[in-house]
Amino acid sequence: MAAKDAQTEERMTDRQLRDEVLTLLVAGHETTASTLAWTFFLLLEHPDIDEALGAEIDRLGDKAPTLADLERVPLVGQIVRESLRLFSPAWFIARRAEVDDELCGVRIPARSLVFVSPYATHRRPELFERPDEFNPHRFDPNAGPAGGFSRFAFFPFGGGPRVCIGHGFALMEAQLLLIVLRRRFRLSLVPGTRPQPSPQLTLRARHGIWMTADRPSES
Ligand code: HEM
């Protein structure tokens, strides 16, 4: 609220401030929260990977993890990326054409809406081997496909001039939270529930993702 532009000394109006807070909440909070929720669901479905994650983060000891620690736990980043591939919170990105155009032989009249979907692209078999499978190792530069993915095969944060401004922050935040929460709780899916993706403004789970959380010593 007190921030001033360094050159002009201008402050934000109340309206701008409100818009900025709303953007942080909608663009920054729900997307990362949803990524973590799907990540924990995927780990419950893949106990071998969850166990490998536990062994990896044990290396960091008990202290609060920092950005510098992340390079020592590469599986954490691979898990977050693989979860973003399968359950991209921004499951579609829309643009309105300003003028008549043509894309890959398709006529795009001015003012029409054009959608691209990270969710759909991330599950194309031409781009990812066994695309519906949760396999964080595909993001391991040593084990993944030679040369990695093409730039726009994996684009949970969009691309070009409007690429997510919070991209680096979100990846860092999700990884640090995954470490802290994985250490502190043992999660289990509430029996009889199974999350179903629900494409709304962001990709949510219809009826939520229901889990119980126990302290490791209590489970
Ligand atoms: C997993 C987390 C996140 C995902 C998947 C995500 C995804 C995206 C995507 C796909 C776009 C581009 C939309 C477009 O091209 O129309 C975008 C834009 C944006 N994101 Fe994120 N985001 C995440 C986290 C964050 C965080 C943590 C912040 C802020 C702290 C943030 C702030 C923004 C803002 C302000 C824009 C608009 C940028 C512009 O138009 O210049 N996002 N995000």
Tens digit of each residue's pLDDT (9 = 90 or more) over 116-129: 999 999 999 999 99
Is residue 48 a part of any domain in this protein? yes
- The answer to whether the CB of 78 falls within 8 A of the CB of 49 is no
pLDDT exceeds 60 at position 146: no
Mean residue pLDDT of the chain comes to 93
What is the per-residue pLDDT across 81-106, written as a single tens digit (0 to 9) for each? Answer: 999 999 999 999 999 999 999 999 99
**Mean pLDDT confidence for 132-146:** 84
Q: Residue with structure tokens 């929260």?
A: 33
Length of the chain: 219
pLDDT exceeds 60 at position 41: yes
User: How many C-beta atoms lie closer than 10 Å to residue 39's C-beta?
Assistant: 26
In whole angstroms, give the CA distance from residue 143 to residue 114.
Answer: 35
In whole angstroms, give the CA distance from residue 53 to residue 56.
Answer: 5
Structural domains of the chain, count:
1
**For the stretch 40-77, what's the b/e string if a residue is b when 16 or more beta carbons lie within 10 angstroms of its beta carbon?**
bbbbeebeebbeebeebbeebeeeebeeebbeebebbb
Question: 167 CA distance to ligand 1 centroid (A)?
Answer: 7
pLDDT exceeds 90 at position 77: yes
What is the per-residue pLDDT across 181-201, written as a single tens digit (0 to 9) for each? Answer: 999 999 999 999 999 999 998
Is residue 151 a part of any domain in this protein? yes
Q: What is the pLDDT of residue 3?
A: 87
Q: What is the pLDDT of residue 151?
A: 79
Does the beta carbon of 77 sit less than 6 angstroms from any atom of ligand 1? no
Q: What is the pLDDT of residue 142?
A: 82
Q: What is the pLDDT of residue 23?
A: 85
Task: Read off the CATH number of the domain in which 68 is found.
Answer: 1.10.630.10
Question: 70 CA distance to ligand 1 centroid (A)?
Answer: 22
Is residue 109 a part of any domain in this protein? no
**For the stretch 166-204, what's the b/e string if a residue is b when 16 or more beta carbons lie within 10 angstroms of its beta carbon?**
beeebbbbbbbbbbeebeebbbebeeeeebeeeeeebbb
Is residue 100 a part of any domain in this protein? no
Question: 193 CA distance to ligand 1 centroid (A)?
Answer: 30
Host domain of residue 161: 21-88+119-218
Of 147 and 172, the one with more pLDDT: 172
Is residue 13 a part of any domain in this protein? no
Is residue 114 a part of any domain in this protein? no
Is residue 134 a part of any domain in this protein? yes
Does the beta carbon of 23 sit less than 6 angstroms from any atom of ligand 1? yes
Does the beta carbon of 143 sit less than 6 angstroms from any atom of ligand 1? no
Is residue 203 a part of any domain in this protein? yes
